[in-house]
Amino acid sequence: AASQKQQNPRHPAVTVSQRVLPAGYTAGSAADGVPVRIYTPTTTATGTRPAIVYYHGGGWVIGSLMVYEPSAKALAANTGAIVISVDYRLASETMNKFPAAHEDAYAAYKWVRDNAASLNINPAKIAVAGESAGGNMAIGVCLLARERGYALPVHELLVYPVADNNLTTASYNQYANAVPLSKANIQYFTGLYFNSTTDGDNRLISLVDVADFRATATMPALPPTTIIAAEIDPLQTEGTLLRDKLTANGVSVDYTLYSGTTHEFFGTYDLVVPAQDAQTHAADRLKTAFQ
């Protein structure tokens, strides 16, 4: 695949390449394959590298690899890991309904692990990460992997994740009209992605209400988790609820709320100081997981 070096003003260059998963890589994934964009740090590495499978935000309806490229490039440059950003199917009024995006997300994670050797990746050092709806899919991939008997990642980075379908929480009430994410935006997104309102009760959506994170005799616990939260964000409350539920279920969680920030701040590190801090913290957590 064609590649090129791209220089970010704040971060070292990374090599960027494009791939497409084989058609129908898993039973539920896109029949024509799932495109991915691969970011490889140009720093010298001995042997294989860790990897981060990254899912962009946008409510399962909007967003793109290019819009969220600053986050993917920063994660690659700051951790030394190969970042695989996933171009999962986006929902419309008639197409790609739940769980299409979640199944593409799982397929991409499985493809990376299945093909770790040819991608120069250490299969024991693969993490998942995502922002907003992408954060929801990152933890969803962990749930699907353990349900399907597939190896889990070593860490999950959840940046202001969608974790519930309750639009009456304290932060939804306080920040209903917030920018860039409002309550109306969420209603629009779920209206397109869900087949019906009952999809909102699925364990992959209502993580804090329905999902069971406890380890069992046949399913391992979820991996250590980093949650990055924005203050001026309707999703703030469900992020704390997810933190508390994971902790109660025996999952190691590192949670940080960045005061004064809004939803989508994570990728704005060239302009917003708290975003620089969040990127550094996320990278430190991931590097620790990769040790």
Active site residues: 132, 233, 263
Examine residue 50 and say whether the peptide bond preceding it is cis (omega within 30 degrees of 0).
no
Pairing of β 35-41 and β 82-86: antiparallel
The whole-angstrom separation of Cα 276 and Cα 289 is 20
What's the burial of 172, exposed, middle or buried (CB within 10 Å: 0-12/13-18/19+)?
A: buried
Pure H helices in 148-272: 170-174, 183-193, 236-248
- The DSSP secondary structure of 256-283, one letter per residue, reads EEEEEEETTGGG-TTT-HHHHHHHHHHH
